[in-house]
Amino acid sequence: MVTQPSPAFFGQHGRGFAYLIALCLMGGAIGVAPGQAAEVTRAEITKILDSPQVYIQEHPAKLKDIARSGERVRTAQARAQLTFNTGAIARLTANSSLTVNTQCAQLRQGIILVSGAVNVCTQTIVTGVRGTTYTIEADDQKQITVIKVYEGKVMVSPLPAATDDRKALFRSTNFLLRSQPLMAQNPSAPKQVAAFTLNEGEEAIIDLSQGKVTQQNMSWSKEYQEELLEGPFLKGYTEPLPTRQNLYDAIQRLFPGMTLSPENQQALGPVKVPIVQRYCQQLLSLYKTNLQLAVKEGWKPPQPPSSGRWITLLEYRISRDLKISNMAVVKSSGYPALDQSAIQRVFALEGQLRPLPSCLPGSSLFINHRFELNFQSGLSPL
């Protein structure tokens, strides 16, 4: 939930199976440049977590088993990592289904993280990548696909919804897929969707039933901490991502001054951090610590309506001219007056802030603050 604060700103984040294969093979004609990802011929299961319920062609699978072109890998109550012959990897969450194809890995259900050069197609889209880190969530029944790019760039070409004449189209060996907008075959309300590109820090929600693409910036700190760094794609895995260095560099670009916890750093894997950057991170960390103490010291929260533990999480940015922007309540306490008091406390410090460390990359410093109040009825809130 994003809260717009008052001006008192502060001063001291299988349907269409054959058809989809044809579309993947012709990817260059619909916006996926040829040669962006090497041909995928096999995927080896290199990690199984949570339970043994991983299957290849509905047969129980184990570590080092191989799914070849045309074979499907499915997870039930398990997570799994696939390592492709290209060196790229895909990590599947529970209840996911992925078919290995030569030009694209076909996700029909579930969520996967892709790290490296492998294209993915669903009922609604085909991606074109050179080597990046992104996730795709697919639901064939609802004809919805969600793509989130954590680093790099992903070219996305939406596909027409499967229709009864797709077989006839597939039988034609010389058909051309043009780079113009594609028609979503919804008899009741036909729509058009066009190819587009997602950059790091962006996500897209593709609803083919409505012919609609919603492209927007992600709430990055929350996405990283809850979905990526602390979520099912890294937790429990010991093999680092092939794109981990690029991913780490993206974090620094998008969140200048953001430092990873030891647990998140271990989950991400070893990365190169220049000495100058390490020193700068220490300065920025000290700045944030002092800021947190200053905010907490003068906070006078209102009395909550009942006893309990009340927590508000805020995110915002401080620019080099010491102005606050992008204030957001990423976790509400459930008591609006308490949330608003936290926001007002931050803005009350405007004009009292010390200058940002000169080594700060970018034009602003990303801040997240936790306001916690333990209240017992009959006692003072603090």
pLDDT digits (tens, 9 = 90+) for 317-326: 999 999 999 8
Would the pLDDT of 380 be above 70? no
**What would be the CATH architecture of the domain defined by 275-375?**
2-Layer Sandwich (3.30)
358 pLDDT tier (thresholds 50, 70, 90): confident
The chain-wide mean pLDDT, for the chain, equals: 77
Q: Around 278, how many Cα atoms within 13 Å sit in the side-chain half-sphere? A: 5
Write the pLDDT tens digit of every residue in 15-47.
343 333 333 333 333 333 433 556 888 899 999
User: Does 165 or 50 have the greater pLDDT score?
Assistant: 50
Write the pLDDT tens digit of every residue in 253-265.
777 666 676 777 7
Question: CB neighbours of 322 closer than 8 A, spacing ≥ 6?
Answer: 11, 350, 351, 353, 355, 356
Question: CB neighbours of 127 closer than 8 A, spacing ≥ 6?
Answer: 32, 104, 119, 120, 121, 134, 136, 147, 154, 155, 156, 157
Q: What is the CA radius of gyration of the chain?
A: 24
Q: Which residues of 279-298 are buried (b: 16+ CB within 10 A; e: fewer)?
A: ebbeebeebbeebeebbeee
Pairing of strands 89-92, 79-84: antiparallel
DSSP string over 72-128: EEEESS-EEEEEETTS-EEEE-TT-EEE--SS-EEEEEEEEEEEES--EE-SSEEEE
Question: What CATH number was assigned to the domain covering residues 17-222?
Answer: 2.60.120.1440
pLDDT at 243: 86
Would the pLDDT of 91 be above 80? yes
| Residue 326 near residue 316, CB atoms below 8 Å | yes
| CA separation for the pair 266, 237 (Å, rounded) | 10
pLDDT at 250: 83
Q: Which two tokens stand for residue 325?
A: 């922007």
| Residue 241 near residue 89, CB atoms below 8 Å | yes
381 pLDDT tier (thresholds 50, 70, 90): low
Residue type, 182: L
Most confident of 109-118, 192-201, 214-223: 109-118
Instruction: For tokens 């011929």, name the residue.
Output: 41
Write the pLDDT tens digit of every residue in 292-310.
899 988 899 999 999 999 9
**Helix, strand, coil percentages in the chain from 3-state DSSP, rounded to 5:** 20, 35, 45
Q: What percent of the chain has pLDDT over 70?
A: 74
Pairing of strands 308-319, 324-331: antiparallel
246 pLDDT tier (thresholds 50, 70, 90): confident
List, in sequence order, the alpha helices (H) in the chain.
Answer: 17-25, 166-171, 220-222, 244-254, 262-268, 275-297, 336-348
pTM of the model: 0.62
User: Does 198 or 179 have the greater pLDDT score?
Assistant: 198
- Residue 355 has a CB neighbour count (10 Å cut-off) of 10
Residue ranges, CATH 3.30.1150, the chain: 275-375
Write the pLDDT tens digit of every residue in 95-129.
999 999 887 899 989 999 999 888 898 877 888 88
Pick from 28, 82, 147, 172: which is nearest to 71 by CA?
A: 82
Would the pLDDT of 348 be above 50? yes
Residue type, 259: T
Residue ranges, CATH 2.60.120.1440, the chain: 17-222
